[in-house]
Amino acid sequence: MTRSPSSPGFWRSPLRGPRLTSVLGVVLLGGITVLFVTGLVSYAAYNPNLSPVNDKTPDKGILGFYLFSWPTDPHWLYRLNQGVHVTLGVTLIPVLLAKLWSVIPRLFALPPARSLAHALERISLLLLVGGALFEFVTGVLNIQLDYIFPGSFYTLHFYGAWVFFAAFIVHVVLKTPMALRNLRHLREEKDDLVSPRPDPPTVSRRGALWFVGGGSLLLFATTVGQSFDGLLRRTALLAPHGGADPGSGPNGFQINKTARYAGIDAAETTEDAWHLVVTGRTGTVRLSRAQLARLPLHSAALPIACVEGWSTSDQWWLGVRLRDLAALVGYDDDPPDVLVESLQRRGAFRRAALRANQVADPRSLLALYVNGEDLSPDHGFPARIIVPAAPGVLNTKWVARMTFGDL
Ligand SMILES: Nc1nc2c(c(=O)[nH]1)N[C@H]1C(S)=C(S)[C@@H](COP(=O)(O)O)O[C@H]1N2
Ligand SMILES: [Mo]
């Protein structure tokens, strides 16, 4: 009988019990709530309703709600939000695994359902555990591999989050009172998680918690550096993403997709070949890079902050204000939304839309220079967008066309 995982005697660890499960559960309650909120905020940062360009999630309905235009202040807003989302998500992995381990006997408990209520609870658990694993796995794949917005990752992680969170709410409502009771009373009550025939302990419960916490600390220490430059970034052993080696010098900061990867041919970006085409209320204007450089230039110190969690510190960009470009095509005081398109012919990031409040911000630039030098090919030469507080993906590189108004 003890051979079967559905019999309580099969599970021999003396660590299992309501107290261990409750401690881990309370940590996850706080942590996952933060993940969900920062995830929703990150979604809002894409300005998802701006034409079908920024968010192509099919049939999102009310789940794709958003409540506000993404602000441009403070300029590090997305950097902070996404750094917390990704670093915290990675840090919680050991806690999630330990929590699942601590309740595994219940997965096999028989009969599968004692009552309708019990059946419903078990179904919600299936969605909870499946959803949690799904969100953590898709999230980690996205930062470690080359899954890209707005392809499958974005849609999967989005829908997975809602399924998971619905089950999470049910679970929290059902379990929190008991978890808090378990934490207040130090004795282990009779509980289905406590093994009836425990093996002798090889580690204390406190030791086990230190082990889990140590794992989390290690992941944290090897991830958090992705939000900083220099030596600290080199500690981000687990968050290597951010494409090619950026080298040193003025353009020596994280690169996501290189010019070569994006299929940008140097011959298309020469002074003779490249023109920016700006369209708006009063028609179309074509500008060479030399002509752009003779317009009033402004500078702004802004970071690149990718959805994958990595970011750079503030770089010093110099270029033409987006609102000045809007004024060239008939929007003098009332800059509208803009659709920005890259020279790049294929790939997910070749176009992005910006909202009027982003265009209006005096720090939003079509940058020609960074840190006192021409943009490098990999950072978007001849010209790229840079907008305060926006996710990296909206900072289109190798810009070819800008269409203001009526998206
Ligand atoms: N045309 C184009 N623009 C792009 C991308 C791209 O692949 N193609 N990547 C975007 C993403 S996801 C990020 S995070 C930033 C990265 O900018 P960087 O490579 O200069 O750091 O560029 C954005 N602009
Ligand atoms: Mo990105």
Express each pLDDT in 234-261 by its tens digit. Answer: 888 877 565 567 888 899 999 988 999 9
Confidence band for 187, pLDDT divided at 50, 70 and 90: low
Structural element, H or E, at residue 22: helix 18-45
Confidence band for 286, pLDDT divided at 50, 70 and 90: very high
Mutate which of 339, 397, 401, 402 for ligand 1? The one with the most ligand atoms within 8 Å of its CB, which is 397
Which residue has the CA at smallest separation from atom 15 of ligand 1? 392
| pLDDT reading at 170 higher than 90 | no
CATH superfamily for domain 266-404: Oxidoreductase, molybdopterin-binding domain (3.90.420.10)
| pLDDT reading at 145 higher than 80 | no
Position 86 scores a pLDDT of 95
Position 146 scores a pLDDT of 60
Of 6-10, 130-134, 391-395, which range is least confident?
A: 6-10
Ligand 2 centroid distance, CA of 45 (Å): 12
Position 298 scores a pLDDT of 98
Structural element, H or E, at residue 161: helix 152-184
d(CA 249, CA 240): 20
pTM (two decimals): 0.92
Position 407 scores a pLDDT of 67
Confidence band for 188, pLDDT divided at 50, 70 and 90: low
Q: Count the alpha carbons within 13 Å of 224 in the hemisphere toward its beta carbon.
A: 9
Most confident among 155-164, 183-192, 236-245, 271-280 (mean pLDDT): 271-280
Q: What residue spans define the domains of the chain?
A: 18-221, 266-404
The set of residues, in sequence order, having a beta carbon less than 8 Å from that of 21 and lying 6+ positions away, is 99, 102, 103, 179, 182, 193
Of 28-37, 102-111, 175-184, which range is least confident?
A: 175-184
Position 141 scores a pLDDT of 85
Direct distance between the N- and C-terminal alpha carbons of the chain, in angstroms, rounded to an integer: 67
**Ligand at shortest distance from the CA of 350:** 1
> What is the identity of the amino acid at 102?
S
Confidence band for 177, pLDDT divided at 50, 70 and 90: confident
Position 269 scores a pLDDT of 97
Of 25-29, 48-52, 295-299, 351-355, which range is least confident?
A: 48-52
| pLDDT reading at 120 higher than 90 | no
For the segment 13-31, the average pLDDT, to the nearest whole number, is 92
Q: Which residue has the higher pLDDT, 117 or 333?
A: 333
Most confident among 1-5, 152-156, 345-349, 363-367 (mean pLDDT): 363-367
Ligand 1 centroid distance, CA of 68 (Å): 24
For the segment 341-367, the average pLDDT, to the nearest whole number, is 94
Position 366 scores a pLDDT of 98
Query: Residue 365 is encoded by which pair of tokens?
Result: 């630039």
**Ligand at shortest distance from the CA of 143:** 2
Prior bond to 382 cis, omega within 30?
yes
| pLDDT reading at 370 higher than 80 | yes
Nearest atom (ligand 1) to Cα of 306: 14
Query: Residue 347 is encoded by which pair of tokens?
Result: 């790939």
**CB under 8 A, 24+ apart: contacts of 220-226:** 220/87, 220/90, 220/91, 223/86, 223/87, 223/90, 223/91, 223/309, 224/83, 224/87, 226/83, 226/86, 226/87, 226/309, 226/310, 226/311
Q: Based on the number of CB atoms within 10 Å of its own CB, is 270 exposed (0-12), middle (13-18) or buried (19 or more)?
A: exposed
Position 49 scores a pLDDT of 82
For the segment 6-17, the average pLDDT, to the nearest whole number, is 90
| pLDDT reading at 189 higher than 80 | no
User: What are the backbone dihedrals phi and psi of residue 196, each rounded to the nearest 5 degrees, phi first?
Assistant: -75, -20
Position 299 scores a pLDDT of 98
Q: Count the alpha carbons within 13 Å of 77 in the hemisphere toward its beta carbon.
A: 16
Q: Who lines ligand 1 at CB under 6 A?
A: 254-257, 262, 304, 306, 342, 344, 347, 349-350, 379, 392-393, 395-398
Confidence band for 117, pLDDT divided at 50, 70 and 90: confident
Nearest atom (ligand 1) to Cα of 243: 19
Mutate which of 53, 256, 394 for ligand 1? The one with the most ligand atoms within 8 Å of its CB, which is 256
